Amino acid sequence: SAVKSDPNCIFCKIIAGQIPSMKLYDSDKTYAFLDIGPIAPRHALVIPKYHGAKLHDIPDEHLAEILPVARKIALAAGAEDYNILQNNGRIAHQVVDHVHFHFIPKPSEKEGLG
Ligand code: 5GP
Ligand code: ZN
C-alpha cells in the first residue's frame, strides 16, 4: 500500500525535507536520522515513511525494513552493544506520534562514556 502522510506531523515533515535532519538512510518505505536530543553518541531513529502513531497502525509491509536498517546503522556505527527501543503511548514515554525505533549505542568502557 502507498505511503500515508500527516501534514501536521514533525516526522512526516522530516521525511518530506521540510524540517532538516541528519539523514542516515532513505528508501521508498524507510527513513533513518540522528536524534536531535541524543541520550548517547550516534543515537538514531528509524521510522516507516507511512504515518501512524503506534505500531499497530502501520501495515506489515511498511515495517519490513525497520530492523534490517537498524542493523545496518549499528554496523556502520561500529556499535558492539546497543538498545533498540520503541515506545507506544504517553504512559510508555512516547512523545512523537509517528512510529519510531530508537537505536541507542552503549559506549564501551574504553571510550570512557560507559
Ligand atoms: P519518544 O519519546 O516519542 O519515543 O522519542 C521521540 C524522540 O524524537 C526523542 O528522542 C527526541 O529527541 C526526538 N525528536 C523530537 N523532535 C525531533 C526533531 O525535530 N528532529 C530529530 N532529529 N529528532 C527529534
Ligand atoms: Zn508522521
pLDDT in tens, 68-84: 999 999 999 999 999 99
Q: Please, which residues bridge with residue 45 across strands? A: 33, 102
H or E segment and range at residue 44? strand 44-48
Q: Classify the complex by whether its ipTM is higher than 0.85, answering yes or no.
A: yes
Asked if residue 1 is part of any domain, the answer here is no
Please tell me if the CB atom of residue 87 comes closer than 6 angstroms to any atom of ligand 1. Answer: yes
Assess if residue 103 is contained within a domain: yes
In a domain, 56, yes or no: yes
- Give the Cα-Cα-Cα angle 39, 41, 43 (nearest 5 degrees): 60
* Closest ligand 1 atom, residue 37 Cα: 12
CA separation, residue 34 to residues 57, 60, 61, 91, 110 (Å): 24, 24, 24, 24, 23
Q: How many domains does the chain have?
A: 1
Residue 32 belongs to some domain of the structure: yes
Domain that holds residue 40: 10-111
pTM (predicted TM-score):
0.95
User: Which of 19, 33, 35, 104 for a ligand 1 pocket mutation test, highest count of atoms within 8 Å of Cβ?
Assistant: 35
Q: What strands lie across the sheet with 82-85, from one edge to the other?
A: 23-26, 30-34, 44-48, 101-105, 82-85
**Per-position pLDDT tens, the chain of length 114:** 799 999 999 999 999 999 999 999 999 999 999 999 999 999 999 999 999 999 999 999 999 999 999 999 999 999 999 999 999 999 999 999 999 999 999 987 666 554
CATH (domain of 21)? 3.30.428.10
Asked if the structure places residue 26 within a domain, the reply is yes
Indicate which residues carry an active-site annotation.
100
Q: Which atom of ligand 1 is nearest to the CA of 94?
A: 3
